[in-house]
């Protein structure tokens, strides 16, 4: 969330623990390598989520550290926190405390299960939320197939989507404040987001009362819409309507299927999935992935190869869209990063700051925002209330 807001022009102060910093700094290997191919102390995981942020290390558990952060909050538009419910109140950094001195503060709390309810005190982690929120029940091969069973998504999708929803909420709250002068508390729960993003699968259940099953790479509502094996690998065929099915049949020399009453409409194909898919499996396995892409793509049949990440970043379209960027890192290395996908017509996103080393901005922020001098900073550092980095 903070990285997204930074890309959109916000100055983001990331408050970390002195000495260790954010846990994800240690979530490696892999780590960023310097120009001599030696590891730095920055994990690839940390780099992925912290572009544009200023790292300040302050021990909020100390009275003086908490006071410093409260003073910084007076200069901020937004406070984002992801502590357990009630923890911030222990440090005098909760919404109710901060709004007394800054009534227009926008305060966003992100927890596993929200600020209310029977599970509010339980810590939430992405994989646990994917499980309890239903995503793993519809992800993975069917229990009837080899390797069947629940699977998590290959990235922390709930964390990512919660950040995106939270950013939307914060921007909306800023607009509300601009119009009314009123700040507010935004209560974001990973579980709420997970439930919300199940989209058509939610409605498949709510309209029938029957929980959806796992279909692996197949679609519960559209056929054929899945992966198919080819002579040299696999590809995705994503037929979204009856006209596309007719085009697919014509291009792939399966014209007879387009006129077969069992497969004429998507509803027919869905009801007769178990008859259609084996026919397609046998036919598509006779040619290479490149062959099928080369004849289906030009006639408007949605399809795609299944690329590894080395193929993704070498893809002409990805290169054209500028999705990989490189920023100079304060360690002396060059950090390879992924660009923000938003493309504005008038306001180009600028990437001015690489993911920070631990505490590298503590001194500059305290000096420029709170007018601390070198003596103040040295004293706080000696007391280990702050950390000015390594």
Residue 219 counted as domain residue: no
Residue 141 exposed, middle or buried by CB count within 10 Å (0-12, 13-18, 19+): middle
- Residues 50 and 192 grouped into a single domain: yes
- Residues 124 and 231 grouped into a single domain: no
Residue 317 counted as domain residue: no
Residue 214 counted as domain residue: no
- Residues 111 and 191 grouped into a single domain: yes
How many CB atoms are closer than 10 A to CB 294? 12
Residue 218 counted as domain residue: no
| Cβ contacts of 184 within 8 Å, gap of 6 or more | 106, 107, 173, 176, 177
- Residues 147 and 281 grouped into a single domain: no
Nearest to 190 by CA among 105, 132, 261, 265: 132
Write down the pLDDT at residue 390.
62
- Residues 107 and 2 grouped into a single domain: yes
**Domain count within the chain:** 2
- Give the H/E segment covering residue 58: strand 53-58
- Residues 150 and 294 grouped into a single domain: no
Range of the domain at 232: 225-307
Determine which one of 22, 59, 94, 159 is catalytic. 159
Write down the pLDDT at residue 144.
85
What's the pTM value of the predicted model, to 2 decimals?
0.92
- Cβ proximity of 107 and 185 under 8 Å: yes
Residue 212 counted as domain residue: no
CATH number, domain with residue 360 = 3.40.50.10540
147 three-class SS: coil
- Residues 118 and 246 grouped into a single domain: no
- Cβ proximity of 115 and 89 under 8 Å: no
Write down the pLDDT at residue 293.
97
The CA-based angle 274-280-284, given to 5 degrees, is: 150
Per-residue tens of pLDDT for the chain, all 390 residues: 999 999 999 999 999 999 999 999 999 999 998 877 778 889 999 999 999 999 999 999 999 999 999 999 999 999 999 999 999 999 999 999 999 999 999 999 999 999 999 999 999 999 999 999 999 999 999 888 888 899 999 999 999 999 999 999 999 999 999 999 999 999 999 999 999 999 999 999 999 999 999 999 999 999 999 999 999 999 999 999 999 999 999 999 999 999 999 999 999 999 999 999 999 999 999 999 999 999 999 999 999 999 999 999 999 999 999 999 999 999 999 999 999 999 999 999 999 899 999 999 999 999 999 999 999 999 999 999 999 986
- Residues 77 and 182 grouped into a single domain: yes
Token pair of 328 as six digits? 């100079």
Write down the pLDDT at residue 36.
74
Q: Does 159 participate in catalysis according to the annotation? A: yes
The residue out of 279, 307, 335 marking a domain boundary is 307
């Amino acid at each position: 969330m903070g990285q997204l807001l930074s890309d959109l022009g916000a100055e983001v102060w990331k408050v970390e623990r002195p000495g260790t910093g954010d846990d994800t700094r240690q979530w490696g290997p892999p780590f960023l390598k310097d120009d001599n191919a030696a590891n730095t102390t920055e994990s690839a995981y940390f780099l992925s989520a912290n572009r544009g942020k200023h790292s300040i290390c302050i021990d909020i558990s100390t009275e003086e550290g908490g006071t410093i952060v409260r003073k910084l909050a007076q200069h901020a538009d937004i406070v984002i926190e992801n502590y357990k419910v009630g923890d911030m109140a222990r440090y005098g950094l909760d919404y109710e405390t901060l709004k007394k001195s800054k009534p227009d503060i926008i305060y966003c709390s992100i927890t596993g299960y929200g600020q209310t309810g029977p599970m509010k005190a339980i810590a939430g982690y992405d994989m646990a939320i994917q499980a309890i929120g239903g995503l793993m029940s519809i992800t993975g091969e069917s229990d009837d197939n080899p390797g069947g069973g629940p699977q998590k998504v290959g990235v922390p999708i709930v964390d990512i989507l919660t950040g995106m929803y939270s950013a939307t909420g914060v921007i909306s709250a800023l607009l509300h404040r601009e119009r009314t002068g009123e700040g507010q508390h935004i209560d974001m729960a990973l579980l709420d987001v997970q439930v919300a993003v199940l989209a058509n699968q939610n409605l498949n259940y709510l309209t029938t009362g029957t929980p959806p099953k796992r279909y692996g790479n197949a679609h519960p509502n559209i056929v054929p819409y899945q992966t198919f094996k080819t002579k040299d690998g696999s590809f995705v065929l994503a037929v979204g309507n009856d006209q596309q099915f007719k085009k697919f049949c014509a291009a792939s020399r399966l014209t007879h299927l387009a006129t077969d009453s069992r497969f004429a409409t998507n509803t027919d194909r869905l009801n007769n999935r178990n008859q259609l898919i084996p026919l397609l499996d046998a036919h598509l396995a006779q040619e290479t992935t490149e062959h099928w892409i080369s004849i289906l793509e030009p006639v408007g049949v949605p399809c795609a190869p299944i690329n590894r990440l080395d193929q993704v970043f070498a893809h002409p379209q990805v290169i054209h869209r500028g999705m990989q960027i490189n920023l100079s890192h304060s360690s002396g290395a060059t950090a390879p990063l992924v660009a923000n996908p938003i493309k504005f017509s008038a306001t180009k996103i600028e990437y001015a700051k690489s993911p920070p080393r631990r505490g590298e901005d503590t001194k500059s922020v305290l000096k420029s925002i709170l007018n601390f001098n070198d003596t103040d900073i040295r004293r706080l550092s000696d007391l280990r209330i702050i950390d000015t980095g390594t």
